[in-house]
């Protein structure tokens, strides 16, 4: 029920027993529409469901005429296949291992995706756009979802089609049987670049990296607070901070992919315990 | 003639004892047909005409559910031929492929329905997102949905090990290795070793029941895949559908 009862006629009282009827200031049981606008589930909806089920069954039957469930040779702990591919729906995560250490790509990031998804309804304060497809009324929310979904799919596609031996980058026209020379790509942590450019010590270089990392989150949180005040006001402090953390982390994944692919940067944040 | 046979059937004591209502050719019996059936009563008796619009849900949730049902049926069938023992599992699958009547059919159906379920659960989630159906009062059902999504993925992954071929073995080895990098409780994770986690007591050990993927891992994945996770999905699906009814369907007004 999306409209609130303006005046409570019978205040709720736990000492009384109630029937299932609730009083609304409306003319019909279905708000805003006359009952005539409804149809019986039998046969209208059931028919649609049955047709869907038949179509899916036919689809599956057709599919398995062309493609069969794979079965390779018996499991053998002593021969590791190369490349070793996860099932396709996890290839996005496997591909992220190229850009992040395993504790982040394999554990923390998936956890954050799950928690972030669960929190989405609580972070999206825009009441518009329920019950119909719209982009214009909720551009930012749609952007966020699509961006995450796009990373997920693009990494799956890269993992499926563009990775070969040793998980190196292979174009469809490259020779997939020949090992790439790993020396072609040397990964460098960002702080060594600073060491080279500014002739500072490694410690100072690391400090630069840390400042960039923390600055990214700090500025990324504070600037929109000032520039898009109404948005911040609408969300409130905690909701905004939570959102900002997840948003910047997601953007961070994309940034790191670019840094790694274009500039061979290995880490931005370097600490004795964790590197990102 | 056909009409007469039909009348004979629907008027018979047996039919009445089973369905407790007449053939649904009038509105009263149509209503009864829905709410007196344990299978159909997840539906409301009537829905808004606009809620039927295919271009709203694209039937994605329903297709996901149907694939789950296909998976349950074919999965139980496969269980009759499968032994979760490293010395037999692979040969059981080979038998399904080459010896058992309908073995290939059932295995292929099971495999592709599983791929389909993963795909359609993502599409369904995208539909729910794009129609804003996760907003109040449906926030909680979105959470239930995410639980279903994760369960669907883990179901697929645990099933992946069962054929005990190279694909299965190494995919699960890589995946389980990830667990060992869990911060705090993994042998390779940040602060894991400092907190005393070794290959023999960390989270990966718990997952596999050993330090490598072996017989213990197989039996664990088998029980998870065939019993625990399907049950969890079923329970959450019950909540999911219950909440759709309670929170109201978001469909176009
Ligand atoms: C095993 C997986 C799932 C099954 C079988 C399933 C099934 C369904 C079905 C049959 C519906 C009715 C409408 C429709 O067909 O679209 C529905 C609605 C809904 N689903 Fe799912 N679902 C699953 C997973 C998810 C996931 C992953 C999410 C979101 C993260 C989700 C969120 C919702 C919500 C919020 C509704 C209400 C939509 C509305 O009122 O318009 N479900 N689900």
Domains of chain B: 52-247 (1.20.810.10)
B210 at the A interface (CB within 8 A)?
Answer: no
Tracing tokens 């993927």 back to the chain, one arrives at: B213
pLDDT for residue B248: 82
Span B164-175, average pLDDT:
93
Q: How far is B125 from chain A (nearest CA, A)?
A: 10
Ligand 1 pocket mutation pick from B123, B128, B140 by most atoms within 8 angstroms of CB:
B128
Looking at CA atoms only, how far is residue A188 from chain B in angstroms? Answer: 21
Tell how far the Cα of A33 is from the centroid of ligand 1, in angstroms: 24
pLDDT reported for residue B152: 97
The C-alpha angle with vertex B48 and arms to B42 and B50, in degrees rounded to 5, equals: 120
How far is residue B90's CA from residue B84's CA, in Å, rounded to a whole number?
A: 9
B212 in A contact zone (CB under 8 Å): yes
Among B45, B86, B142, select the one facing A41 at the smallest CB separation: B45
pLDDT at A90: 93
For residues B127 and B142, is the Cβ–Cβ distance under 8 A? no
CA atoms within 13 A on the CB side of A18: 10
Q: Minimal Cα–Cα distance from A263 to chain B, Å? A: 26
Regarding predicted confidence, which is higher, B190 or B146? B146
Where b means 16+ CB within 10 Å and e means fewer, A220-246 reads bbeebbeeeeeebeebeeebbebbbeb
| pLDDT tens per residue across span A250-271 | 999 999 999 888 888 888 888 8
**pLDDT tens column, A169-205:** 888 888 888 887 766 677 888 888 888 888 888 888 8
ipTM of the complex model: 0.89
Task: Tell me the C-alpha distance between B138 and B133, whole Å.
Answer: 7
Which residue is it, tokens 């909440």?
B243
Residue B215 phi, psi (nearest 5) = -55, -45
How much of chain A, in percent, has pLDDT values that exceed 70? 87
What was the pLDDT predicted at B71?
Answer: 97
The pTM of the full predicted model, rounded to 2 decimals, is 0.89
Please tell me the predicted confidence (pLDDT) of residue B52. 73
Q: Which atom of ligand 1 is nearest to the CA of B127?
A: 16
Average pLDDT, chain B: 91
Give the pLDDT band of residue B87 (cuts 50, 70, 90).
very high
Tell me the pLDDT band of A18, cut-offs 50, 70 and 90. Answer: low
Chains A & B: contacts with CB separation below 8 Å: 212
To test the contact with chain B by mutation, choose from A48, A121, A270 the residue with the greatest count of B C-beta atoms within 10 A, namely A121
* b (16+ CB within 10 A) / e for B184-215: ebbbbbbebeeeebeeeebbbbebbeeeebee
| Among the partner residues B115, B132, B146, nearest to A117 by beta-carbon distance | B146
More confident residue, A37 or B61: B61
pLDDT for res A30: 52
Average of per-residue pLDDT across B7-31: 85
Q: What residue of A is the nearest CA neighbor of B130?
A: A133
**Predicted local confidence at residue A93, as pLDDT:** 92
Whether residue B232 has pLDDT greater than 70: yes
Q: How far is the CA of B61 from the centre of ligand 1 (A)?
A: 5
CB contact under 8 A, B126 and A145: yes
SS3 letters across chain B: CHHHHHHHHHHCHHHHHHHCCCCCCCHHHHHHHHHCCCCHHHCCCEEEHHHHCHHHHCCHHHHHHHHHHHHHHHHHHHHCCCCCCCCCHHHHHHHHHHCCCCHHHHHHHHHHHHHHHHHHHHHHHHHHHHCCCCCCCCHHHHHHHHHHHHHHHHHHHHHHHCCCEHHHHHHHHHHHHHHCCCCCCCCCCCCCHHHCCCCCCCHHHHHHCCCCCCHHHHHHHHHHHHHHHHHHHHHHHHHHHHHHHHHCCCCCC
Measured in angstroms, the CA of B146 and the nearest CA of chain A are apart by: 6
Pocket of ligand 1 (CB under 6 A): B 57, 60-62, 64-65, 68, 121, 124-125, 128, 133-134, 138, 141-142, 145-146, 148-149, 152, 237, 240, 244, 249-250
pLDDT at residue A29 tops 80: no
| pLDDT at B244 exceeding the cut of 60 | yes
Distance from Cα B115 to the centre of ligand 1, integer Å = 18
β-bridge partners, A163:
A169
Residue B163, pLDDT > 50, answer yes
* C-alpha B246 to ligand 1 mean position (Å): 14
Ligand 1 centre to CA of A146 (Å) is: 18
At residue A117, does pLDDT exceed 90? yes
B172-210: per-residue pLDDT in tens? Answer: 998 998 999 999 988 888 888 888 888 888 899 999 999
Residue in A64, A133, A149 closest to B108 by CB: A64
Question: SS3 of A147, please?
Answer: helix
Residue range A205-220, pLDDT digits in tens: 888 888 999 999 999 9
**pLDDT value for A167:** 87
Q: Which ligand 1 atom is nearest residue B251's CA?
A: 41
Q: What confidence score (pLDDT) does residue A28 get?
A: 47
What is the rounded CA–CA span in Å between residue A23 and residue A30?
A: 12
**Segment of A161-165, A232-236, B114-118 carrying the highest mean pLDDT:** B114-118
The residue-averaged pLDDT of B115-141 equals 94
What's the confidence (pLDDT) of residue A203? 85
Tell me the mean pLDDT in the region B38-67: 83
Identify the burial level of B169 via C-beta atoms within 10 angstroms of its C-beta, where 0-12 means exposed, 13-18 middle and 19 or more buried. buried
* Per-domain residue ranges of chain A: 3-63, 88-263
% of chain A with per-residue pLDDT over 90: 43
pLDDT level of residue A23 (50, 70, 90 thresholds): low
């Amino acid at each position: 029920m999306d409209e609130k009862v303006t005046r409570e006629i019978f205040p709720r009282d736990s000492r009384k027993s109630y029937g299932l009827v609730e009083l609304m200031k409306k003319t019909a049981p279905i708000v805003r529409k006359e009952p005539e606008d409804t149809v019986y589930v039998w046969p209208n909806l059931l028919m649609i469901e049955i047709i869907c089920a038949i179509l899916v069954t036919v689809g599956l039957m057709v599919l398995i005429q062309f493609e069969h469930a794979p079965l390779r040779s018996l499991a053998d702990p002593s021969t590791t296949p190369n490349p070793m591919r996860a099932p396709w729906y996890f290839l996005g995560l496997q591909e992220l291992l190229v850009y992040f250490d395993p504790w982040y790509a394999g554990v923390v990031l998936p956890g954050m995706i799950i928690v972030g998804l669960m929190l989405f309804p609580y972070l999206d304060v825009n009441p518009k756009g329920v019950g119909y497809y719209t982009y214009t009324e909720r551009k930012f929310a749609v952007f966020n979802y699509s961006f995450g979904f796009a990373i997920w799919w693009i990494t799956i596609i890269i993992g499926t089609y563009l990775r070969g031996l040793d998980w190196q980058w292979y174009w469809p026209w490259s020779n997939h049987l020949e090992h790439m020379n790993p020396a072609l790509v040397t990964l460098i942590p960002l702080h060594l670049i600073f060491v080279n450019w500014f002739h500072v010590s490694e410690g100072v270089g690391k400090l630069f990296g840390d400042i960039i990392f923390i600055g990214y989150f700090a500025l990324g949180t504070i600037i929109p607070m000032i520039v898009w005040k109404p948005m911040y006001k609408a969300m409130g402090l905690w909701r905004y901070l939570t959102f900002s953390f997840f948003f910047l982390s997601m953007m961070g994944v994309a940034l790191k992919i670019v840094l790694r692919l274009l500039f061979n940067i290995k880490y931005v944040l370097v600490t004795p315990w964790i590197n990102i | 003639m056909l009409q007469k046979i039909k009348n004979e059937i629907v008027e018979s004591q047996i039919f009445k004892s089973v369905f407790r209502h007449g053939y649904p050719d009038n509105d009263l019996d149509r209503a009864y047909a829905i709410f007196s059936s344990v299978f159909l009563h997840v539906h409301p008796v009537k829905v808004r005409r606009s809620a039927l619009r295919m271009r709203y849900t694209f039937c994605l949730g329903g297709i996901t559910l149907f694939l789950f049902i296909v998976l349950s049926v074919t999965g139980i069938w496969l269980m009759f031929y499968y032994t979760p023992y490293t010395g037999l599992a692979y040969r059981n699958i080979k038998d399904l492929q080459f010896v058992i009547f309908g073995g290939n059919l059932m295995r292929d159906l099971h495999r592709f329905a599983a791929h389909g379920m993963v795909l359609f659960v993502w599409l369904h989630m995208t539909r729910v997102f794009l129609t804003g159906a996760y907003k109040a009062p449906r926030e909680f059902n979105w959470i239930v949905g995410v639980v279903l999504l994760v369960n669907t993925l883990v179901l697929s992954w645990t099933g992946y090990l069962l054929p005990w071929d190279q694909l299965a073995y190494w995919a699960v080895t890589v995946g389980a290795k990830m667990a060992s990098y869990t911060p705090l409780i993994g042998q390779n994770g940040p602060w894991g070793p400092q907190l005393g986690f070794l290959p023999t007591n960390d989270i990966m050990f718990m997952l596999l029941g050993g330090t490598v993927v072996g017989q213990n891992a197989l039996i664990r994945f088998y029980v998870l895949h065939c019993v625990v996770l399907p049950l969890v999905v079923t329970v959450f699906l019950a909540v999911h559908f219950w909440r759709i009814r309670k929170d109201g369907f978001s469909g176009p007004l």
